[in-house]
Amino acid sequence: MKRTLLPLALLIAVTATGWSAEELPVTGTPRPELAAFDAWMQGFLAEHKIPGASLAIVKDGQLIYARGFGWADRDAKEKVEPESLFRIASVSKPITAVAILKLVDQGKLRLDDKVLDHLKYEPHFEKDGKLDERWKQVTIKHCLTHSGGWDRDKSYDPMFQAIRMAKSMQIELPILPEHIIQFQLGQPLDFAPGERYAYSNFGYSLLGRIIEQVSGQPYHKYVQEEVLKPLGITRARMGGSLIEHRAQDEVRYYEVNNGEAVAVVGPGAGVKKVPIGYGTWRQETLDSHGGWIASAPDVAKFAAAFDFQAPDETRSKLLAVQTVRQMFAPAIKMQLPAGSTVKGDRFYGLGWMIEPVPGDSAVIARHGGALPCTAASLMHFPNGVNLAVLTNLGQSPDGKFLGRQIEPPLTELVQKCFP
């Protein structure tokens, strides 16, 4: 009975917003037994006024659902297709983690290696600044588990301080990853490495530079050749910052209330206001923590590559089985935001957010991604289901990021449709 009523309830929600299901284009092959996912996506887009999105599901190594919803370009009336490319924001982190773990499997790195043993940058000191000696204790595992010592809620997110850093370092925009590292080496840590969890984009930027140092290749080239290509994923790439850098088949991005901010890349950098999604950060600088663009099917296929339930012939051999188990094992307890309605503890593994399944040894592994112009979610379930949803708007009309509103209802749908 619940499975029958859920799609109807969501379609009613669509109509209640004034945006009927008939007005929302849907592409891809319908699957009647999975119509609940169609209905939820239509309702979610209508409720939050999202121009476009894509949803893909891989079950036991096979792509069984891939659909596009709404508009890739609202003005040009270009529909989102199942294979449309989106910025995936922090869903880039599990990709980077797998790249690191492959180097570990090959004996080229160890998780307890000190970051500064691999990276040699000259610190930039402000005024009477000096090196915080705790920097010397930061390990690769600390970066993987967001316990390296940087807390954006206590200080700031280093990846989005381009104008401040350029002024302090007396260099021209845009800011590159190496500039950010130099600047941060001159700043104190927010806590001792390994002491606790605090989500850190900067830690994953460091991992990208370590991949470059050890592999001898640019970060994105190594990942494309050694992680994605073996999985048959060939269209994922590093995104561009400006509208003219939009890749073939990439959606256009939108901001709540047509928001603008000062550009840090492109014409007028440091002075001119531009749409938030096009030039207020340098997408390529986000690379290893948030720079990738990909399709929903490819993101779901990536997660499925580490699926113990998949047939042996479809299961990836990128990582050793024991490494995959370690990747999905709880490594550090996460600090949930104030007012969170999540029940039970949540943990971070090696590149994945981990949710233990009550009464079972299995876990649900997931990762979200959030930018003002993008919401992304990747979910890996112990029953062989892997799901990816991507949108070209990152915030609802009230300004709240959409990521936390995507995963709970989709988890419920997976549990209902794949018992």
Which residues contact residue 127 at a Cβ distance below 8 angstroms, ignoring those fewer than 6 apart? none
Residue 18 pLDDT more than 90? Answer: no
CB atoms within 10 A of CB 385: 23
Phi, psi of 205 (to 5 degrees): -65, -40
Q: What's the whole-number mean pLDDT along residues 284-294?
A: 98
Tokens of 55: 């949803």
The mean per-residue pLDDT over the stretch 296-312 comes to 86
Domains of the chain: 2-84+294-417 (3.40.710.10), 96-224 (3.40.710.10)
Can you give the pLDDT at residue 24? Answer: 87
Res 15 pLDDT > 60: no
For 109-165, the pLDDT digits (tens) are: 999 999 999 999 999 999 889 999 999 999 999 999 999 999 999 999 999 999 999
> Prior bond to 174 cis, omega within 30?
yes
| pTM for this prediction | 0.93
Question: Is the predicted pLDDT of residue 105 greater than 80, yes or no?
Answer: yes
SS (H, E, C) 25-70: CEECCCCHHHHHHHHHHHHHHHHHCCCEEEEEEEECCEEEEEEEEE
Bridge partners of residue 38, in order along the sequence? none
CA–CA gap between residue 419 and residue 48 (Å, rounded): 29
Predicted local distance difference test score (pLDDT) of residue 313: 60
What gap in Å lies between CA 395 and CA 373, rounded to an integer? 7
Amino acid of residue 67: R
Token pair listed for 30 = 């319908």
Q: Which of these ranges, 49-58, 179-188, 202-211, 355-364, has the smallest mean pLDDT?
A: 355-364
Q: Lowest-confidence range among 2-6, 55-59, 250-254?
A: 2-6
Mean pLDDT across 14-38: 77
Question: Is the pLDDT at 13 greater than 70, yes or no?
Answer: no
Q: Which two tokens stand for residue 365?
A: 């592994």
Q: Both tokens of residue 198?
A: 């605090």
Please state which of the ranges 15-19, 57-61, 116-120, 176-180 shows the lowest mean pLDDT: 15-19
